[in-house]
A and B are shown apart, each in its own frame.
Chain A
Amino acid sequence: MTMNRSSKAIKYALAIIGVLLFLFPLYIIFNNSLKPFSDVRISEMWIPARNVSLEGYGEAIVKLAQNIQNSFILVIPVSLLSVLFGSVIGFIFAKVKFRFSNVLFALVIFGMFIPYQSILIPLVRSMNKIGLYGKLSGLIVTHIIYGLPISSLMFRNYYAKIPDELVEAGMIDGLRLWGVFTQVVVPISLPTMVVVLIWQFTSVWNDFLFAVVLTQRPSIQPITVALQNLAGTQVIEWNVQMAGALIAAIPTLLVYIFLGKYFIQGLLSGSVKG
């Protein structure tokens, strides 16, 4: 759209104000995480660090190393298995017609909108019964199951756009449905696989509710719970807290910065229509 100069100048000014509003919290985080504890003073949060020190990071890493590892152990299998299950379910709903498939799919999708509080008590009881309560494996199973709706939705929306003729051509070549899926459909699903992979990576990494309810022992808690515990202590060691917050944010931030296109695609498919 073309427009005159002064309106363009106003827009640049507004865009820059927007940038400042979005970025100033990052300034707070960097500025204060780089201060040595001796420089941390209540009135000086906004004043640039006079002495730069990695003390805060050192301490945060020591306190959070185990939890970062836990988060990776959690996130990797969940993301991979979400791709596997999501693609199979999504394919069947997109390309196999059977009775009530629409109703069934709506029931699947509704699962991603529910407040998880409404399943928490039974979840804890069941995990207890099968011996997975308080274990990382229990958290993994939980995230895989409750990740099925969004993963299936993303794949179904993608597969719905693949022409039926492609699938039929595979069948004429003598492939069965399963063969078409593995040999024709899977090889062209890479973009959606990436979308689901990083979507699940980000949302499971960032999850707090399941983690805080299902893991009690600090040694198995994921990073979000550990960060909350670290920050919950009302001591004003905020250089450590800020460093911890940044460390907790780095993996998902990197994913966002380098795979932003897929991240946004995932974001937009969260509103049901592809």
Chain B
Amino acid sequence: MYCAKKDRRLAIIILIPMLSVLFLFVYGFIAWSLRISFTDWNSILPDMTWVGLDNYRMLFSSQRFQTDIRNTLYFTVFFMAICIVGGFFLSYLLYSKLKGESLLRTIYLFPLSLSFVVTGVLWRWIFSPEVGINALFRMMGFKATFGWFTSTHSVAGFNVALIALIIAASWQYMGYTMAMFLAGLRGIPDQLIESAQMDGAGEAAIIWYIILPIIKPITFSAMIVLGHISLKIFDLAYAMTGKGPAFVTDFPGLFMFETTFRGNHYAEGAAISIIMLFLVALVIVPYLYSTLKGDAQ
């Protein structure tokens, strides 16, 4: 595009202060956190004595952090799987031209507008062992004793207490994947489906051979977005369960918050946050690279 030299200079002059502040707050602060994570600052008073990787070593050998990482991985896998399968399912229902479609869409999507704190407060009561779902089952005559998020059982390293959190988070985010898939489905030309039907293809065949290949890239984007949300999860766990007995519902975000702002272990907190950043970057950087590169062409 044509753009006078003077104009371009003006644009850059406008951009510089805004980006400087942003980059200071993002990259400057990350560097600062990284620096703190290599120090001995584990009390109220700043202590910038260099201790190398000690904080990281300590974390990886601590029971709590190991549990956190395992919780995060299990939570991420189940949360993503439920949102993607459920979201696709809902979007397909809406795509089938049901009556009241816009009302249905509104209902499936509304939890997204809520705060994780609201969701947490609400679902904490729903899964509270004496009060919620259990009481409902008891009313129906079942013997319901499952402890939900207070349970300390684990299966193959999966703390079953996470089930409650996974359900609450999926309730909130399933609408998101639904909206993404629906946008993709709406982009499929009607003729394509109609001609397949004329050739005698059944619904299952249409889904398998036409719809799924088309929405594959959307699934990939959805996985990235959901994955980075669950790697960062904090509010929901904080409001709904806290770290739980024996850390069954603990996550790195909770650990970082507690140890830093309640326990004054700044260096340890910084190390946790850097590990979180690293995990998110593993997911996001390749994604940004491929998306923006595709954009530029």
Contact = CB atoms under 8 A, between A and B. Distances in A.
Given A206-B114, A268-B180, A272-B288, A115 B23 contact: no
Contacts of B179: 264, 267-268
The 3 closest A-B pairs by CB, nearest first: A206-B115, A177-B7, A256-B113
A212 B234 CA distance: 12
Nearest to A248: B118
Given A22-B171, A25-B126, A270-B225, A11 B115 contact: no
A186 interface: no
Interface in B239-297: 239, 252-253, 256-257, 260-261, 266, 269-270, 272-274, 276-277, 280, 284-285, 287-289, 291-292, 295-296
Interface stretch (A51-59, A97-105, A189-197): A97-105
B139 to A, nearest CB: 7
B2 A115 contact: no
B95 A1 contact: yes
Interface stretch (A72-80, A85-93, A131-139): A85-93
A228 B117 contact: yes
Contact of A117 (B171, B253, B289): B253
Given A46-B139, A145-B22, A212-B257, 10 more contacts: A19-B108, A22-B108, A45-B135, A113-B228, A114-B277, A118-B33, A171-B2, A264-B109, A264-B179, A268-B183
Contacts of B8: 96-98, 177
A118 B274 contact: yes
Interface stretch (B12-20, B62-70, B145-153): B12-20
Contacts of B296: 102
Interface stretch (B24-32, B52-60, B73-81, B155-163): B24-32
Contacts of A106: 288-289, 292
Chain A interface residue count: which class? Answer: 35 or more
Given A45-B125, A209-B234, A121 B33 contact: yes
A42 interface: yes
A96 to B, nearest CB: 4
B98 A46 contact: no
A231 B120 CA distance: 10
Interface string A150-185: 000000000000001001100100001110000000
B270 A121 contact: yes
B115 A15 contact: no
A44 B132 CA distance: 9
Interface in B177-195: 179-180, 183, 190, 193
Interface string A194-235: 000000001001111100110000000000100110010000
B260 A105 contact: no
Task: Say what secondary structure dominates the interface of chain A.
Answer: helix
A187 interface: no
Interface of B: 1-4, 6-8, 10-12, 14-15, 18-19, 21-23, 25-30, 32-33, 36, 89-90, 93, 95-98, 104, 106-118, 120-126, 130-132, 135-136, 138-139, 171, 176, 179-180, 183, 190, 193, 197, 203, 206, 221-222, 224-225, 228, 231-232, 234-235, 238-239, 252-253, 256-257, 260-261, 266, 269-270, 272-274, 276-277, 280, 284-285, 287-289, 291-292, 295-296
A162 to B, nearest CB: 11
A90 to B, nearest CB: 11
B221 to A, nearest CB: 5
Contacts of B176: 267
A15 B113 contact: no
Contacts of B260: 120-121
A168 B2 contact: yes
Contacts of A108: 19, 22
A98 B4 CA distance: 12
A49 interface: no
Contacts of B239: 208, 228, 231
A274 B106 CA distance: 22
A253 B11 contact: no
A38 interface: no
Interface string A251-274: 011011100100110011011110
Nearest to B108: A22
Contacts of B284: 110, 113
A189 to B, nearest CB: 17
Contacts of B206: 1
Given A168-B2, A267-B112, A271-B225, A92 B11 contact: yes
Given A96-B11, A117-B272, A122-B29, A104 B19 contact: yes
6 contacts: A3-B203, A97-B3, A126-B29, A178-B7, A228-B120, A268-B180
Contacts of B118: 206, 224, 227, 245, 248-249
B234 A253 contact: no
A3 to B, nearest CB: 6
Contact of A122 (B32, B114, B292): B32
